[in-house]
Amino acid sequence: MPKAKRAEDLPDVQNDDNLLIQKRINKVGIRKVLLPCKVERKDGTFNDCVANISVYSDLNKHTKGVNMSRYRIILEDTFVNKNVNLREAIRAALGEVKEKLQANDAYLKVSFDYFLTRLAPVTKIPSLQNYRCTLEGRIIDGRERYYMTVKVPYTSLCPCSKKISEYNAHNQRSFGDVIVELKDGEICWIEDIIELVEKSGAAPIINILKRPDEKWQTELMFENPVFVEDMARKMAELLDKWLDNKILDYVFIANHEESIHMHDAVSVINAGRDLK
């Protein structure tokens, strides 16, 4: 049978500096932590999801190891059974990491599926659409920075195919990755990013379509052809209006999963600042 002992009666191996190699470690922590999470939506409701979380801190050259359980305790205290504004929750958790791990730098990344109800264009039948999102916070040398990534599905129809074909045009499911650096004190809602991408593509993705809806969707796509280059430029034009207002920086990646080729077409554009 195992024998229970108090912590003070057990050797503390991680604080044993015997034969310690004195080098600072940039990041040490835990990843792939899956926890239930409730993320605040723009309309005041909360998105129920499973968050995939990574958390790290730096480690000074005089300490052999960190107390790994403290990371998990901080995450569970921050996210489990709580309705959270995710950015503020990450900020609070980073402060806890710095304090409890006696760290100079702290990093935390939360990835999750964000669900919104979409209505079919004609019949108005509701269906759920998930958007893959990530919110990341960093405190490095006292400077806080926060980044959000939203992957938005949309449809694209080839302008060249439409122009040269006597009828029909090839089209495909596509994805836009929007990566932004958030401005302190300003709110950038996931819904607003989704809206920018969906109105720039040929048509949004909607999961339940009856025949009247499918007719509408295919004709809408035909009326709004878009190259992968078009998507990059249209999104940059829209995101430029947010610079220094809602956001500090951005990268947009358009990925069109070609229906007549085995390769994808990709275009990347940025604000020309730090994010590349």
Q: Specify whether 131 is located in the same domain as 97.
A: no
Query: What secondary structure, in 3-state letters, does 87-145 show?
Result: HHHHHHHHHHHHHHCCCCCEEEEEEEEEEEEEECCCCCCEEEEEEEEEEEEEEECCEEE
Q: Specify whether 33 is located in the same domain as 74.
A: yes
Provide the number of structural domains found in the chain. Answer: 2
Q: Specify whether 171 is located in the same domain as 226.
A: yes
CA atoms within 13 A on the CB side of 37: 27
In a domain, 13, yes or no: no
Q: Specify whether 65 is located in the same domain as 105.
A: yes
Chain CA centroid to CA 259, Å: 27
Evaluate if residue 249 carries a pLDDT over 80.
yes
Cβ count within 10 A of residue 90: 26
Q: Specify whether 90 is located in the same domain as 183.
A: no
Question: Per residue in 240-261, is it b (16+ CB within 10 Å) or e — as a string?
Answer: eebeeebbbbbbbbbbbebeee
In a domain, 5, yes or no: no
Q: Specify whether 72 is located in the same domain as 146.
A: no
Q: pLDDT digit string (tens) for 217-243?
A: 999 999 999 999 999 999 999 999 999
Q: Specify whether 247 is located in the same domain as 151.
A: yes
Measured between alpha carbons, how far is 171 from 225 in angstroms, rounded to an integer?
9
Q: Specify whether 99 is located in the same domain as 227.
A: no
CATH code (residue 249): 3.10.270.10
Q: Specify whether 100 is located in the same domain as 130.
A: no
Residue span of the structural domain in which 181 resides: 120-276
* Domain final position from 80, 111, 142: 111
Q: Specify whether 92 is located in the same domain as 151.
A: no
Instruction: Give 144's strand partners.
Output: 139
Q: pLDDT digit string (tens) for 133-188?
A: 999 999 999 999 999 999 999 999 999 999 999 988 999 999 999 999 999 999 99
Measured between alpha carbons, how far is 197 from 180 in angstroms, rounded to an integer?
14
3-state SS class at 264: strand
Instruction: Dig out the tokens for 105 from the structure.
Output: 């730098």
pLDDT of residue 10: 66
Q: Specify whether 205 is located in the same domain as 243.
A: yes
Burial (Cβ within 10 Å: 0-12, 13-18, ≥19) of residue 51: buried
Binning pLDDT at 50, 70 and 90, where does residue 52 land? very high
In a domain, 12, yes or no: no
In a domain, 196, yes or no: yes
CA atoms within 13 A on the CB side of 181: 15
Q: Specify whether 102 is located in the same domain as 130.
A: no
Evaluate if residue 32 carries a pLDDT over 80.
yes
